[in-house]
Amino acid sequence: MSAERKTETIPQWKKDEVEDIVDFLDAYDSVGVVDITGIPSQQLQDMRRDLHGTAELRVSRNTLLARALDWSEEGLEDLTDFISGQVGLIGTNENPFGLYQQLEASKTSAPINAGEVAPNDIVVPEGDTGVDPGPFVGELQAVGANARIEGGSIQVMEDSTVLDAGEEVSQDLANVLAELGIEPKEVGLDLRGVFADGVLFEPEDLELDVEEYRADIQAAAGRGRNLALNASYPTEATLPALLGKASGEGKNLAIHAAIEDPDVMPDLIGKADSQVRALAAQIDDEDALPEELQDVAEAAEPADTESTDDQDTEDTSDEDEAEEADADEADDDEDDGDAGAALDDMF
């Protein structure tokens, strides 16, 4: 405590209050300042109840809150910069990011009053208002909504922006919005700053896109696993894949090296069978093949058969050329016969 402070001039109830606030600050790992401006008393009590078990809200005079922050031995004096207006202190043992997410999720919509500034564009949506024909249609039109009487009720014909963000709400607009049940503002605890683990966090530091953050973590984990697999780095997560990869590579090597291992023999036999059938498909002489391979040769024959229809239509007046062609065919028949005899010897 600074020597400049003269605590003897402070009323006892204030000293007791400051001591209670200091005890409150020392009880939590994370302490923040929240804005409670415009929150009705009943809603504030509801928020206290919703926070029970995860965080605690403490409201007092700003001067006492600031004095307690200065007196605390936790280095919380930087939070005094956020003590202005209607504020309170919030304490939690959760991390600041979780606290921020919880406070944002707890916000609820609320009506807006005349004289308040619109936090965002105020839109009267298209559709049936549910209001019977009457003066209200004129009130809608007066605030800028495209409305008319249709089908026995007042209809808004299209989404109508009746006030831009940052503009002041008029009494007429406040009445129209109340009649339609439109609540354009959010009410909740706005976190101005939070101190945790020796670090001061502001809202922009805590606002995270959870889905994007989760996707980034998943992508990083995937890349890390891929790197570990390619580097053959054994871990609990990579060993099953590394063993599977090694097993596959070992089997592939055994097949190419024709190693007669019980686990490899079915693949070697299948490989040999495929090679024999591929060879049989290249042999034209059916008699040269075993019976079980003759169907393979028959399936290959249509691809080797050439049509001679075009030759029949050519001019065959030159008898010498025809005789030479017949002689060539005879020679081919003799060659086929020799090839067949040779294959008989092989099989």
Looking at the structure, tell me whether residues 102 and 192 fall in a common domain.
Answer: yes
pLDDT for 172 equals 94
Residue 43 has what pLDDT?
Answer: 81
Examine residue 321 and state whether it is found in any structural domain, yes or no: no
Q: Is-contact 294 284, C-beta < 8 A?
A: no
- Per the domain annotation, does 283 fall within a domain? yes
Q: Say whether both 57 and 80 belong to one domain.
A: yes
Look at the pTM and tell me if it is higher than 0.85: no
Q: What is the pLDDT of residue 328?
A: 47
Residue 290 inside a domain? The answer is: yes
Same domain, 295 and 341: yes
**79 and 41 co-located in one domain:** yes
Q: Which two tokens stand for residue 105?
A: 């999720």
The rounded distance, in Å, linking the Cα atoms of 251 and 233 is 21
In a domain, 317, yes or no: no
Please name which of 227, 224, 205 lies closest in space to residue 216, comparing C-alpha atoms.
Answer: 224
User: Which CATH number does the domain housing residue 195 bear?
Assistant: 3.30.70.1730
Please tell me the predicted confidence (pLDDT) of residue 223.
93
Residue 17 lies in a domain: yes
Q: Which residue has tokens 């026995």?
A: 152
Q: Give domain status of residue 343, yes or no.
A: yes
Give me the number of domains the chain comprises.
4
State whether 131 and 280 are in the same domain: no
Residues 174 and 223 in one domain: no
Torsion of CA 189, 193, 194, 199, to 10 degrees: 160
* pLDDT at position 337: 43
> Domain ends where: 231, 257, 283?
257
Residue 70 sits in the same domain as residue 139: no
- Residue pLDDT tens, the chain, 347 long: 444 444 457 788 998 999 999 999 999 999 999 999 878 788 888 888 888 888 999 999 999 999 999 988 777 899 999 999 999 999 999 889 989 988 988 888 888 889 989 988 999 999 999 899 999 999 999 999 999 998 889 999 999 999 999 999 999 999 999 999 999 888 889 999 999 988 999 998 888 777 888 899 999 999 998 999 889 888 888 889 889 888 888 888 888 888 888 888 888 888 888 887 787 777 777 666 676 666 654 554 444 444 444 444 444 444 444 444 444 444 444 444 443 443 344 33
Say if residue 232 is in the same domain as residue 165.
no
Q: Are residues 49 and 74 in the same domain?
A: yes
The predicted structure's pLDDT at residue 105? 84
Residues 99/29, Cβ–Cβ less than 8 Å: no
State which amino acid sits at residue 220: A
Q: Residues 169, 232: one domain?
A: no
Indicate the angle between helix axes 239-256 and 265-280, nearest 10 degrees.
50
235 shares a domain with 273: no
Cα Rg for the chain, rounded, in angstroms? Answer: 44
Q: Which two tokens stand for residue 207?
A: 């606002």
Is the residue at 45 inside a domain? yes
**Residues 75 and 201 grouped into a single domain:** yes
Q: Domain span at residue 271?
A: 258-307+330-347
CATH of the domain at 140: 3.90.105.20
In a domain, 160, yes or no: yes
Strand partners, 58: 89
**188 with 90: CB under 8 angstroms?**
no
Instruction: Round to the nearest angstrom and report the end-to-end CA distance of the chain.
Output: 108
Write down the pLDDT at residue 251. Answer: 84
